[in-house]
Structure 1
Amino acid sequence: MATAVETLGKLERRITISFPLTDVRTEVEKRLKVQARTAKAPGFRPGKVPLKMVAAQYGYQIESEVLNDKVGRAFNDAANENNLRVAGFPNIVPKEEAAEGQLAFDATFEVYPEVAIGDLTAVEIETVQADVSEAEIDKTIDILRKQRVHFHTKGEAGEHGDGGESIAANGDRVTVDFVGAIDGVEFPGGKAEGYAFVLGEGRMLPEFEAATLGLKVGEAKTFPLSFPEDYHGKDVAGKTASFTITLQKLEWAHLPEVDAEFAKSLGVADGDLAKMREDIKVNLQREVAGRVKARNKEAVMDALIKVAELEVPKTLIAQDSERLAEMTRQDMAQRGMNVKDVPFPAELFAEKAERRVRLGLILSQLVGDNNLQATPEQVKAQIEDFAQSYEDPREVLKYYYSDRRRLGEIEALVLEENVVTYVLGLSKVTTKAVAFDELMGSNAQA
């Protein structure tokens, strides 16, 4: 049996559960007899072990299972009888005072909140849009050329020319020996031979690159270099060192010509440059559409958080914080990082978890009230859209439809898009054009 529901806070509730001790003992004995049918012990045939020995070996485990089953069943029955929507898991502890012959437990838990969503027609939302121009296509081609760069010795005649005057300039790849000292003493990490880098890419500190510019092969230069206060090498951070560099090798960057061979290297079989540009444009438009969708969805979610009133169950925040911490650990491990002994306190993720849980409750309310569930047709269309960028779209369809969990991820994505469309259809929307570079540099996350 269960007592009446006690209200401890806005969402916190408590129920006291009790049942006769004899019920537990009867069920334990019943399960022990079942266990005895297959129990094994030295000197006894299977199934012939004395019940006392079975009880000594399995009694504690079986009693715990019986108690968990009975308490869990009683709690669920009480929650259903009282029409309670329990958020997360209850905290169940034995009650010190119980009637004679009874076992009693206090179950403390939270319930799902009421979600009050304000007037969406009064909400103002700024969305963004961006276009892909010929300039963006040209920039992308330049990036693709740089990814396929070849370096040739500077100043030597050859198939690709000499690359200009034999002095180090931005864009050249230089190979240097260097040695650094602070107060006349060399320091760890301050010396290298045959170290190569491209001038102008910012891999080295500005003073180092500036000193390398203008050198010829075989020339050396000594110069002061001040390490920043926040430099990753703590032993030298904030200090000034004297460096000597010697240029050992100088190469100029030969970018491939934008011709049929270049187009073929990008997957255009016949080398047609117009087809290549069209393919690049389509890919950029797909990327832009994804970024725009993410930015606009984030704007809608921000607006919903402001317009909705609800209490967020602490239990759900704690559970999601733990989930985010574990996801972070797994992600870092997959990237090859040793995180075995690294602590991941769940409280570090509490703010993000609170937002996720809050939005989940708001979206659930909107979906239920306005029938915004994902339809099978929408789910299939979304998967097909994903599949366009893959070589074999059929494999992508198979990948999602063969796993219910993966399919659920797509359904959740479509559901969110349904909510975004619904909210934008009601609210006061203004649209701002953003530059391509600004959009591609943004890290908007849904």
Structure 2
Amino acid sequence: MPSTRAHIRFQVVIATGTALALAVTLPGLTAHADPVYPSAGQVKAAQAAVGDKAAQISVIEGQLKASNARLQEVQSAAEVAAERYNLARELLRQATDAAKAAGERAAAAQEIADIASNKLGQFAAATYMQGGNLGQLEAFLSSKGPQDVLDRAAGVQLITDIRNQVMQDADASSVVAGVLRRQAAQAQAQQLAAAQAAEDARVSAQAQVDVATAETARIQKQQGAMIAQLATLRNTSVTLERQRQAGLKAEAERRAAAAAKARAEAKARTAAKARAAAKARADAEARAARDAANRAPAPAPDSSSSSPNPGPVSGSVSAVIAFAQAQIGKPYEWGAAGPGTWDCSGLTMVAWAQAGVSLTHYTGWQWAETRRVPLSALQPGDLVFYGDSGATSHHVGLYVGGGQMIEAPETGKNVRYASIWRSDIVSEAGRP
């Protein structure tokens, strides 16, 4: 019997080992095995998460784009306010000069009136000393015959004429002095009003600059947070995301510049066609006039005619550009005209002064003080304007060639080179 029991034990061991081997080599046959692939619910959840992440990225990028537009808006508003202050300050300067001139004219007229009044007083005193009657001056005019009578009458008439002239001079001088006094008072009132307007414009400009500064800081902080969110959502670094957003912004600016350039070129082509049509009409009218003149007898030459005056000499453009280049890197300050800080119209004004050209410290008047030039015909030294129109422009730059200008841009930035192509560029430039 022992051999039988040993045989049974051997079979049990083999069976047990076989079962263990199968358990090791066939894990799917274990009693507690779970599936290792994602379920349909997990797939749907992952897809929803990806969609949510893409939606969040899209929203944040839209917010970044809107914040960039808001930055441009507040900065443009600050430029507008600064140029309004420049205008108010220029009007005050003119009102001050006018009040000073009016006061000087009134003082001179009063001096003349006082002299005339003194003469009248002296004449009246002399008459009084002679008895108050011109006819009683005959003590000075003895009568010794008919000729003496005539001479006496002539003398009396002469004295009467002198008296009347003195009285007329005194009256006229008094009237003129009164008129000029009133004009001086009116000019003084206008000066005071201009001073108040300039102060109001200064306060408004400072308030707008403060708003722009605070809004810029707020937006930049907000943009920093949004860029950090984008970096998290895209599994990138903040530095990389900043570079990406800077690139997207630069690309948007390039597209806007290209669109602005295309619009300007289209306007230039339209204007060129209009000028060509006008020239054709003028040429036809000139030919008709010449034909008519050829049929008529030639007029005698006019010895008083003179050659036309040459156009104004603008001076050395190279000196203008060299001066502007020397200001690069200096800070922007609204209302400033050097030497350490500049605003846009202050820089162009002083730069062109290097060539002997006088411009006003206000973009709208610099537009009026310069000749119109199409953007397709720009030359170094021309002024490029930005805004709804040249007359209401809020920014100006000095063109230096190659599509570039030197500008004093805005608060917080320095004088720099920049592309002239922006969405708000005016379709014509100004040539001093």
TM bucket (normalised to shorter chain) is: under 0.3
Higher relative strand content: 1
Higher relative helix content: 2
State TM-score, norm by structure 2: 0.20
State TM-score, norm by structure 1: 0.20
Higher relative contact order (CA 8 A, sep 6+): 1
Determine which structure has more spread, i.e. the larger CA radius of gyration: 2
